[in-house]
Structure 1
């Protein structure tokens, strides 16, 4: 269990102290922006592999165990995840790896709903698996991912505000961190036809795929039982 805890702590450290924290500027000054991004991506990939291996080798210490009554809850959450995740990559978004400036982005499509669809989907994925797997290793692993996905966007907002200044403020005023936040507050409106149809179709296919194959491929509980 100590190995898993160490891997998860490194994951959080890399994102909160290095990528979006006080260590980024001095490291970038030494390495340069491009080399920093390459090394960060490499270390993060290795870190994720470490987390996965440590999780698979961690002892099973149950909390509430696997409760079939919780399956409908996790299925609903995973449906939202499957829709949000692919749709997050089709709209031009400055929060998606910081590849575009907010000056060149119009808040439309999924951006009207949230500017952090990908991370929030990742966080909800962590929440679903935190609920479905009632053991300490799962709580540590998926709790880490849920925290980074749901709380990490606040750190990204701070980083991009410092980088882009007024351009970020203008973009952020049209969007929201919380899904539907800008729409409910009157700063934007929901436009169904702007949602990417390919992203929606891909999300539905992904959800159906997971319903049928998750138990065989990844283990755990599944809401569709085969005869």
Structure 2
């Protein structure tokens, strides 16, 4: 369990203490943007691989046990996670990798719904597994991903507000951190024709494939 704790601490620490704090600017000033991004990506990859290995070798210390009655909810959350990943994959968005400045972006597609669709997909994936796997190792692994996906957007918004200033405020008024809030408040509208429906269909196909082969690939049945 100590190995899993260390791996999750590295994963979260890199995001919150290094990248998500003023320490990032200090490091970039010394190393440059490119080397920092490369080192950050490598460290995150190592931490995720380490988390997976440590989880597979962690002792089973149950809390509430397998919550079978919550599995239908986890299926819905997983379907939404896949859809959010897929539908946002081709959107022009300043919050994703390969960022563009917010003054060069119009909130379209999934960005109308939330400016953090990819992270919310990650968060829903973690939450879907967290609620049905009642043991400490699962809480650490899936809880870390749920936290990073659902809470990290707040920190990103703060960082981008500081980086882009007024341009970020203009973009942020067009969309929202929580899905559908900007639409509900009248700051945007839902345009179904802008959604990448081919990506949605592909994402749901991958979801169905993952669901069917979950036991074979991951050693646990989703049923």
Counterpart residue number, 2:109: 109
Structure 1: runs of 5+ lacking an equivalent? none
Please name the residue that 1:118 is paired with. 118
- Residue 49 of structure 1 is matched in structure 2 by 49
* 1:97 aligned residue: 97
TM-score by length of 2: 0.97
**Counterpart in 1 of 2:141?**
141
Query: Do 1:66 and 1:133's aligned partners in 2 also have CA atoms closer than 8 Å?
Result: yes
Tell me how far apart the structure 1 counterparts of residues 166 and 108 of structure 2 sit (CA, whole Å): 19
Task: Show CA shifts across 1:143-195 (max 9, x none).
Answer: 01100100001111111111111111000000000000100111000011110
Q: Which residue of 1 aligns with 2:24?
A: 24
Match of 1:10 in 2: 10
Runs of 4+ in 1 over 6 A off after TM superposition: none
1:188-223 CA deviation, whole Å, 9 max, x = no partner?
A: 000111101221111211121122111221122323
Alignment correspondent of 2:195 = 195
The DSSP-based 3-state class of the residue aligned with 1:91 is coil
* Equivalent pairs, count: 223
Supply the distance in 2 between the matched residues of 1:162 and 1:47 (Cα, whole angstroms).
28
Which residues of 2 match residues 57-96 of structure 1 at below 5 A?
A: 57-96=57-96
Query: Matches of 1:220 and 1:8 in 2, distance apart?
Result: 22
Report if the CA contact (8 A) 2:103-2:171 is conserved.
yes
Q: Once the 2 structures are TM-superposed, how far is the Cα of residue 98 of structure 1 from its aligned partner?
A: 5.4
| Native 8 Å contact 1:175 1:182 kept in 2 | yes
Matches within 5 A, 1:160-179: 160-179=160-179
- What's the Cα RMSD here? 1.0
Between 1:205-214 and 1:114-123, the stretch displaced more is 205-214
State whether residues 59 and 137 of structure 2, in contact with CA within 8 Å, keep that contact through their aligned partners in structure 1: yes
Deviation string for 1:121-160 (max 9, x for gaps)?
1011000110121111000111011001000011111111
Residue number in structure 2 paired with 1:205: 205
Q: Deviations over 1:52-104 (max 9, x none)?
A: 11111110111122232221011011111111111121100100025211111
Tell me the distance in 1 between the aligned counterparts of 2:67 and 2:173: 42
Matched residue SS, 1:96: coil
Question: What are structure 2's unaligned runs of at least 5 residues?
Answer: none
The normalised TM-score by structure 1 is 0.95
Q: In 1, are the aligned partners of 2:67 and 2:131 still within 8 Å (CA)?
A: no
